[in-house]
Chain A
Amino acid sequence: MSVLAVSNLAKRYHRGGKPFAAVDDVSFEIGPAETLALAGPSGSGKSTIARLVLRLIEPDAGRIDFEDSDFLALSGAALRARRARIQMVFQDPLAAFNPRATVARVLDDPLRIHGIASRAERPRRIAALLERVGLDAGLAAHAIHEISGGQRQRVAIARAIATRPSLIVLDEAVSALDVSVRGQILELLLDLQRRERIAYLFISHDLGVIRAVAHRVIILDAGRIAESGDARAVVTNPQSAIGKALVAATPKLIRNRP
């Protein structure tokens, strides 16, 4: 059983009047509690795949099965209900939230919209969510712009898990964070995955991060899958030209510890 199965996905855009394929014949599956990473140079189609999977944009061809039903065929109330099961976390949580909204408000929205908790119950749910992502319940009253980048990304994760999703799409979700904070957020994501069996579509340009947290990886080049496989195996021994170039370009920290 897979959480997400994408087959022969294609999306074309126009550049200089000519059509070009941003995503070209892409197929993959993600199982429960699995992390599939998407890597590739800038413009290779990673975010376009994320937007297609989230149905923020519609594909020109292909099929998306989410929790074993045709996701592209859904509309209206059925789509809204299913959307609760697939969530997202992006690079810049400030852009995703109203910066003046309070943390409580940001977490109240999904609980209300998806009818998950009654008005009376919601404050308790919000406190539990904050605790779940390692934040103090007192933070609920703070405005989004008043908290740090790492705290904001925890709030984004709390919001994503509020609706008990089976899949979270993370597009460069840890790229803007300091390394110490990044480590904590990655640990949090792994912990949530272990406990709640959430699958991740994990987009990153950083092969070190991918190797640390992903089970499998797909390397994209100009919208096509250049290679895919076990994350450690691909990073250790890439087969495609673009995979080799990405590994070669990754800065190596060579320490000769005595």
Chain B
Amino acid sequence: MTALLSIRDLSVRYRRDGVEATALKGVSLDVEAGERLAIIGESGSGKSTLALAIAGLLAGDAKTGGRIEWFLPASHPRLGRDIGFVFQDPSSSLDPVMPVGKQIAEVARTHLELTWPEAYAKAKTLLERVRLPDPDSALRAYPHQLSGGQKQRVAIAAAIAAAPKLLIADEATSALDTIVQAEIVALIRRLVAEDGMTLLFISHDIALAATLADRIAVLRHGELVELGETGQILDAPRHAYTRALLDAHLGLDAKPLLDRQGTPA
């Protein structure tokens, strides 16, 4: 495998109310080209900070140390063209007063140097690829006319419009119900495979991450505590914290907390 990017000793500090807080410290990892890498960890562990740092989206007052090296023809990857980003809340990334077809077409036009008619044709193809029912009328729909799952499909279409090498999904399914979440995960899996994209899948849910990822990185308090193949992380976690996360998972086969008489465990 060849690396798509290499992160060395990355640290990020935020300033809030005059106090500095460390969000990431000394994180080093390589993202292999074409792999599906999950970043997991609890709230505040630094997952989004890592995603934003990779995408070059960190707020201006964040202090960073270390480096991120890309192995791409373009030395400075551009968001939209080289990196697609899908956020938890699709409403925050979609413009409420612009038809969704135009929003997707705009990404294609900007980064692929297409004419408007070409960009609209591309947008329609993308809406078909993300399986939005009736793509022709969906092109003209506004975000508020779509369900949460449909909006997330549109956000994904926009994120992959310029055929980026890297797709980052930051809790992209966390606001959706279980059934819609499974559909979106299946969609991401298919698109990543079809386009040979590299996937950075960020989630607080270790079980969800495991359904999609080749490798899993575990963050805790801003530090990378473990990184390994999904099978190794699940079956032979090296770090006590990873084990604790696995044990805290309440799966459909876990021992119920409720002990009931007369019901065999």
Contacts and interface: CB of A to CB of B under 8 A. Distances in A.
A14 interface: no
Interface string B236-254: 1000000011101111111
Interface in A87-145: none
A205 B78 CA distance: 38
Contacts, number: 105
Main secondary structure of the interface of A (DSSP, over half): helix
Contact of B250 (A209, A215, A232, A247): A209
B178 A206 contact: yes
Interface residues of A, number: 39
A257 B235 contact: yes
Contact of B256 (A183, A232, A245, A251): A232
A211 B178 contact: no
Contact of A42 (B176, B183, B205): B176
B59 interface: no
A194 to B, nearest CB: 10
Contacts of B245: 179-180
Contact of B249 (A179, A190, A236, A257): A179
A205 B180 CA distance: 12
B16 interface: no
Interface in A158-212: 178-180, 182-183, 186-187, 190, 205-209, 211-212
Interface string B196-236: 00000000111110110000000000000000000100111
A208 B258 CA distance: 12
Contacts of B234: 253-256
A178 B257 contact: no
B88 interface: no
Nearest to A258: B235
A179 B220 CA distance: 13
Given A41-B177, A232-B263, A250 B252 contact: yes
A226 interface: no
Contacts of A248: 182
B99 interface: no
A246 interface: yes
Given A183-B257, A215-B258, 9 more contacts: A178-B204, A182-B250, A212-B250, A212-B257, A213-B258, A236-B252, A246-B179, A251-B182, A256-B235
Interface of B: 42-43, 148, 176-183, 204-208, 210-211, 231, 234-236, 244-246, 248-254, 256-258, 260, 263
6 tightest A-B contacts by CB? Answer: A249-B182, A179-B248, A42-B177, A251-B207, A208-B250, A253-B207
9 contacts: A180-B245, A208-B252, A208-B254, A213-B257, A236-B252, A248-B182, A251-B211, A254-B210, A255-B246
